Amino acid sequence: MKVTFLGATKTVTGSNFLVEGAGKKFLVDCGMYQGSASDEFENEAPFLFNVNEIDFVLLTHAHIDHSGRIPKLYNEGYRNQVIATKATCDLCAIMLPDSGHIQEMEVEWKNKKRERKGEKPLPPLYTAEDAAKSLEIFRPVQYNEIVEISDNIQVRFNDAGHMLRVCNN
């Protein structure tokens, strides 16, 4: 197994790990960089992997620094599953379109400054609509459910103490 750290190294945002093993390539998280302007510039950088070679994404939780670049991944052609707990999928249905709206508002402000300088406008990283479309590839699973990805890959989401868990007892 090979794990490549593509984000959240030397910083706490932009969580993104590429795992290669058992004949599969998958991501753990696809998060947005947040904080300084130089950190946020990383969001626009090309992915350091071929989007078409990714078999699935495991999303640990809904925080934008873990989920925020999934709409960008989707816009670049990724159509395989994003596997996450039902609670994470439900939160992403609210948070990702909101993030898209924020992207639209921020680029509008930046473009007003660019226009005054005679520079070309920039597109948003993604829109609220883009984010809503990306939700079609989310696959909700239950906590502690063993998810059979392949003969050699099984996944189970457990509590890690970082996110609230809703219990339906």
CA–chain centroid gap for 30, Å, is 3
Three-state DSSP at 19 gives strand
Q: Model-level pTM?
A: 0.90
pLDDT per position as a tens digit, 104-120: 999 999 999 999 999 99
**What CA–CA distance (Å, rounded) separates 8 from 31?**
9
pLDDT per position as a tens digit, 58-90: 999 999 999 999 999 999 999 999 999 999 999
Pairing assessment for the beta strands 82-85 and 16-21 based on DSSP bridges: unpaired
Three-state DSSP at 56 gives strand
CATH of region 2-155, choose from 3.30.420.40, 3.10.580.10, 3.40.50.2300, 3.60.15.10: 3.60.15.10
Domain boundaries, the chain: 2-155
